[in-house]
Amino acid sequence: MSWIDIGHLNDIPVRGSRVVKTPVGCVAIVRSSETEAYAIGNTCPHKQGPLSEGIVHGKKITCPLHNAVFSLETGEGTDGHQIPTFPLKIEGGRLLLDGASVGKRSAA
Amino acid sequence: MAQKLIVIGAGMASGRMLEHLFEQGGDWDVTLFNAEPRGTYNRIMLSPVLSGEKTYEQIETHNAQWYDDQGVTTRFGEKVVAIDRAAKTVTAENGDVLPYDKLVIATGSNPFIIPLPGHDLEGVIAYRDLEDTYRMMELGKTEGSSAVVIGGGLLGLEAAAGLHAQGVDTTVVHIMGHLMERQLDESAGYLLRKELVGRGIKVLCATNSKQILGENGKVTGLELDNGTVLPCDLLVMAVGIRPNVALAKEAGLATGRAIHVDATMQTSDPDILALGECVELDGMLFGLVAPIYDQAKVAAKTLVGEAAGYVHRDVSTKLKVTGCDLFSAGDFAEGEDREDIVFRDPARGVYKRIVLKDNKILGAVMYGDTADGNWFFGMMKDGTDVSDIRDTLIFGPAFQGGASGDPLAAVAALPDDAEICGCNGICKSTIVNAVKNGAHTLADVRATTKASASCGTCTGLVEQVMAVTLGDDFVIPAAQSICGCSDHTHEDIRRLIKAKALKSEAAVWQELGWKTANGCHVCRPAVNYYLLADWPLEYQDNLQSRFVNERRHANIQKDGTYSVVPRMWGGMTTPDELRAIADASEKYGAKLHVTGGQRIDLLGVKKEDLTAIWDDLNAAGMVSGHAYSKGLRTVKTCVGKEFCRFGTQDSSGLGIQLEKKLWGSWTPHKVKLGVSGCPRNCAEATCKDIGVVCVDSGYQIGVAGAAGMDVKETERLIDAKTEAEAIEWIAAFMQLYRENAKYLDRPYKWVAKVGLDWVKDTLSNAEERAALNERFEISQSVYRKDPWADHVKNHSEQYQPLADITLEAAE
């Protein structure tokens, strides 16, 4: 894994989300609670709704266009839809996204 | 010959380790250094000392006398300033150089002091040792003194409760949204806060500190980010601890966040051990007593050459504040593969949550009744499979014993004197007797026993008692609840928010027994609206509980771009406004469309451009048109008597006045107005939510029209004589709708439910009308402002990506 610092946890409101532009497209960084965040694909497979604009509840997010609900942990959604998830960790409040998983070649 | 052992630090870890070491025997010549001028005491019991429940002598574990008896040379009040690993010596503060065979580092941790301006003022302290504790107790002796505690974690709250117990006026300032966020979820945090506030401790959450104020080098207060100043005589920082590793680092030992040790507590030097809060093992740091006592046992064995290894185990937390009963253990976050069992008893202030994964307990949070905490904790540590008892698990061990899986069995098994209805103190047998005496419906039971007749939260339980008593004769009715998170209807929730003065989302979730941790996309926008409508000054609108359009103040389109509609008061505009719209259209590549509400829509604006286009439109004097809101949308007008030969009144002027009064207000669903200057009705006022038709004698006000999924003509509310009277009635109607309607009911649906007669009767009362107007104006003092300008100024970063890592990839 190659961890890339993409910002601070407090840059995202609690139960809010912001996107990171990556070589594989936009990744939504979703803050599900005071202390937790997840990285998921930003695009709903149904009609391409931007998931980062959805309502976050528990460890789920609801697509803003037609209310498909996705798990932030597994990417599984209603009606058999699936979105990708990406490794994300929080260290001292910093958000670290695994660069390799979003198409970044390792720096080494 | 005796081995020379030097121990640096006489905290809880080394006290316990030496105790084990002497039990094991062996020939040791021990020298013990301690920076504090005393022996070992139970640091976690400082809080009862602070609150006056214990004395220092009661919390001492190994005093100077004890060490003397063991033959330990104590050097209390002295620090070690250097370690020479090659020579195997340590150097004391006074220059003494002492040789060792084995060295143990137990330097613990230092409190973290936020480097706020003024943190070095006299009167700014941490909460770490006996000196800090005495300092706080001293403050209590001065009448009328006050303190601020920064940090709403375990330590901060214990400090605050202790200060309060000493008679000090105490305020807690916490940066996170709820107290003890690492140990508690929001619901438990809410209950804890309620308890502390009820005692008279002030609690500010989601609050940032700006600087510490002082005079003549002494602290006088804390200034917050929002400019508020909290005056204080003492400021306690309890925001965390940092492992104290300076000495080990200088000596060249391997360190990361703390001193690296292996499972035998050995550092990178085989003759040096370390334990307690100053060590890092497998990436973990340690702050709680149970694992540190385990480490003490391991270190003692390692010293005598016995094989031993530290094994990490889960620990539970309890807050040591008398009367605040809370328990937290394990991992209580939610998850797809996890199941939550939640029990809430709002009347008693009890909250319990068990998190299960694969039928094993993963974590538990409890507030108010923690008697079963250790039972759950035991099963969690043992990894017990709870599938057989999961239906009744939450009721605790008293309930178990081969109970069947039927949820009704739990109710059947309740003793006769079990309280079912907390509000009215109705026990199970009272309900059973009522049912046996012929009360076969919920309404009958309510009428004869009062059970579930107050707050109603026990309704489900009452119905289960009825079902158990009546058997198959009773079918539990399914009420139309707000969503799967709650059994309450919208109407009940609105009523209970007012009746119980619930002023936060967490309060609603807890007091009304929500089944999920923080709702879902169905209930959150509704609850957020109800709260802001009922408590405009107290409740902070939560953008994260709003649909995208209301959060972003623009309408999302199918391709993810947005449409932007600036307000044109009463449908009137100017050449300057039109020029600014034309410029913005070209600059941001937006298509233009004229809407049905007499506005111009800029379509296809990218999210990243929203704040820039608003800034441009603001500069031309335009504000948000709220074309996205469940709120006041537009007031459509005809030109009226100023231009039209048929016009009877100044319809566009009245429309502008109405729009200026009503704009920015949130409502259960969107509200559109129309004002026509004569009965020819060019503004189509008679199919609006509120419509005014001007006539020679005044203003005919109609309400509850519709021209969407349903088409419906307005019904006459009142004929007003003057513009002022028309405006007063319309604002009163808006407020009545705001206070009473179900979320997502347009006015015509709401009026159909309550009846136009009730609306008319209510509004005909001049006092009531004035009161509604007054409440509307209070709400508007908060919401009658341009959200675009606010977001440009305060939230613009939320419209930009958090990061862009595409470019570097191309290098």
- Can you give the pLDDT at residue B447? 78
Statement: residue A62 has pLDDT above 90: yes
B252 and B235 co-located in one domain: no
B639 and B767 co-located in one domain: yes
B249 and B220 co-located in one domain: no
- Taking the C-alpha atoms of residue B332 and residue B312, their distance in angstroms, rounded to an integer, is 19
Tokens of B77: 């009040």
Residue B282 forms part of a structural domain: yes
* Assigned CATH topology for domain A3-94: Rieske Iron-sulfur Protein (2.102.10)
- Taking the C-alpha atoms of residue B766 and residue B764, their distance in angstroms, rounded to an integer, is 6
Question: What does the DSSP assignment read for B740-784?
Answer: HSPTT--HHHHHHHH-HHHHHHHHHSHHHHHHHHHHHHHHHHHHS
CB contact A75 to B (< 8 Å): no
B99 and B248 co-located in one domain: yes
B639 and B771 co-located in one domain: yes
Residue B365 forms part of a structural domain: no
Give the start-end residues of each E strand in B447-556.
Answer: 555-556
Segments making up each domain of chain A, as ranges: 3-94
The phi and psi torsions of B656 (rounded to 5 degrees) equal -65, -45
How close, in Å, is residue A26 to chain B by CA atoms? Answer: 9
Flag if B543 and A34 touch (Cβ within 8 Å). no
Distances (CA, A) of B700 to B37, B112, B677, B720: 86, 68, 11, 6
B171 and B148 co-located in one domain: yes
The phi and psi torsions of B195 (rounded to 5 degrees) equal -65, -45
- Can you give the pLDDT at residue B578? 97
| Total domain count, chain B | 4
User: What range defines the domain where residue B227 resides?
Assistant: 124-239
CB contact B183 to A (< 8 Å): no
Spatial contact of B743 and B721, defined as CB atoms under 8 Å apart:
no
- Taking the C-alpha atoms of residue A67 and residue A45, their distance in angstroms, rounded to an integer, is 12
Q: Which residue reads 């088409």 in tokens?
A: B711
- Can you give the pLDDT at residue B769? 96
- Can you give the pLDDT at residue B251? 94
Which of the listed residues B239, B271, B290 is the one where a domain comes to its end?
B239
CB contact A98 to B (< 8 Å): no
Which of the listed residues B239, B258, B276 is the one where a domain comes to its end?
B239
What angle (nearest 5°) sits at the alpha carbon of residue B692, between those of residues B689 and B698?
Answer: 155
Statement: residue A86 has pLDDT above 60: yes
- Taking the C-alpha atoms of residue B150 and residue B485, their distance in angstroms, rounded to an integer, is 35
How close, in Å, is residue A67 to chain B by CA atoms? Answer: 8
- CATH assignment at residue B279: 3.50.50.60
- Can you give the pLDDT at residue B248? 94
Give the chain B residue nearest A46 (alpha carbons). Answer: B558
Flag if A34 and B517 touch (Cβ within 8 Å). no
Which of the listed residues B217, B239, B261 is the one where a domain comes to its end?
B239
Residue B542 forms part of a structural domain: yes
B706 and B661 co-located in one domain: yes
Residue B509 forms part of a structural domain: yes
B652 and B767 co-located in one domain: yes
- Taking the C-alpha atoms of residue B296 and residue B14, their distance in angstroms, rounded to an integer, is 7
Flag if B801 and A20 touch (Cβ within 8 Å). yes
Task: Pick the residue of B482, B557, B794, B806 with the most A CBs within 10 A to test the interface with A by mutation.
Answer: B806
Shortest CA distance to B640 belongs to which of B694, B720, B690, B687? B694
Q: List Cβ neighbours of B662 (8 Å cut-off, separation of 6 or more).
A: B632, B635, B671, B673, B730, B731, B734
Residue B739 forms part of a structural domain: yes
- Taking the C-alpha atoms of residue B296 and residue B106, their distance in angstroms, rounded to an integer, is 10
Flag if A55 and B524 touch (Cβ within 8 Å). yes
B14 and B76 co-located in one domain: yes
Q: Which residue reads 């623009």 in tokens?
A: B554
B753 and B646 co-located in one domain: yes
B23 and B92 co-located in one domain: yes
Flag if B558 and A16 touch (Cβ within 8 Å). no
Q: Which residue reads 């469309």 in tokens?
A: B593
Give the start-end residues of each E strand in B532-631.
Answer: 555-556, 562-564, 591-594, 600-605
Q: Which residues of chain B have pLDDT under 70?
A: 314, 317-323, 333-335, 398-410, 419, 421-425, 453-458, 476-479, 808-811
